[in-house]
Amino acid sequence: MEINTTLEAQRAFFATHQTKELGFRLEALKKLERAILAHEQRLYAAMQADFRKPIFESYATEIGLVLSEIRFHRRHLRKWMRPESVAGDLVNFPSSSRIYREPYGVALIIAPWNYPFQLLINPLVGAISAGNCAILKPADYTTHTAQAIADMIREVFEPRYIAVFTGGRTVIQALLEERFDTIFFTGSPALGSLVMEKASRHLTPVSLELGGKSPCIVDADANLEIAARRIAWGKFLNAGQTCVAPDYLLVHRSVKEALVAGLKQAITRMYGEEPLQSPDFARIINDKQMAHLKRMLSTGTVLCGGEVIEGERYVAPTLLEPASLEDPVMQEEIFGPILPVLTFESLEQVIALVNSRPKPLAFYFFSGSRRSQEYLLSRTSSGGGCINEVVAHLANHAMPFGGVGGSGMGGYHGWYSFEAFSHRRSILKKATWLDVPLRYAPYAGKLGIVKWILR
């Protein structure tokens, strides 16, 4: 009843058209920015309590990214809201054509637990910029962060505009029984399929940001020192609980030993001889995920790490050589600090392996050869990715972030967040000073002229 009542209140508020005004949108973004700054310390403490996330990572990958997104929207929103003039055509002469971007109405935003603040509030920035009302569903696994977000939002916004519902899967199920005007979901492919199924009953447009096994390829001509350092950073950030983390490593056979040695060295430099004692290494979110990761370690050869301490919810940064491609670690998304290491001898082998699996969310390739870079990109597909880098592509406001196929649909960040929460409304304005009679019956003798015009 509370969900239904809130939804009806938001529909009524949206019908007043206040959320569509530029001034209203800009003020809402300012309020959100001020609220985040006011609650910054509590958010750090909440993420520490949920999975011992280092404050540096909490700012760099969550709070800082969101603040940057808000400021980017505030700078560009006036321009984005202007109708876009597009070329006319001879068929409709004399006329002008424009695309108006209008808000959908009431948006539902569902976030996962691994980046509980950023993956909920970043989409909200897009929903606000585009002029929507929104209902937020934070992840229930990160209970402290969910409550901190709920308190922050309720302190700043009226529920008839922005509302938050906390709780477990039953709350998600109740929300998905309602009709929304758009749904933005970030999470597992399995739950994403359920969201899409529920949305289809109302023909509700959806954006799905899912996961997948993102490959990381290191060719023989790569800068191995840089590759090792960057891969170790991207893989073990947030204890590997990152949707775009390298999920498995394909390294040219000739440089495998050197790269593995570089990775071990990078791990030690970042987290010390005993990562368990490092204040910079996060913990696994819960016992369920711990059991999943223990199963990942049940086969294969540990090259580095492998230590598991259940009471601490700790899994050491681990390099693992799988026994085969059928091992659990190569069949499921890992979502933890375990990096399988496989070898290849030709890029054709890499292409065959990557293309035999669902399209990944991210794709990483380390190579000094531009020709090899373009060759691999042209023969594989992914939501996004990097050359000679990992993870960092999602920080660029100028590029859409999203998946393809099994890793999701739709993109956001920057302008693309505004676009994701907007309907493109094409409007033709026709002049009345001329009315060409060609289209009107009778049609005798007109077909040749129409063919010429349309050609």
DSSP symbol at 118: H
Q: What gap in Å lies between CA 396 and CA 50, rounded to an integer?
A: 28
Contacts of 263 (CB under 8 A, 6+ apart): 228, 231, 232, 304, 319, 339
> Is the preceding peptide bond at 116 cis, omega within 30 degrees of 0?
no
- Indicate the burial class of 262 (C-beta count within 10 angstroms; 0-12, 13-18, 19 or more): buried
Catalytic residues, which ones? Answer: 209, 243
Whole-number CA gyration radius for the chain: 25
Which backbone phi and psi does 172 adopt, to 5 degrees? Answer: -60, -45
Q: What gap in Å lies between CA 196 and CA 409, rounded to an integer?
A: 11
Which backbone phi and psi does 102 adopt, to 5 degrees? Answer: -120, 150
> Is the preceding peptide bond at 94 cis, omega within 30 degrees of 0?
yes
Cβ atoms of 385 and 362 within 8 Å: the answer is yes
Helix, strand, or coil (residue 430): strand
Q: What gap in Å lies between CA 405 and CA 400, rounded to an integer?
A: 16
Helix (H) or strand (E) holding 389: none
Helix, strand, or coil (residue 88): coil
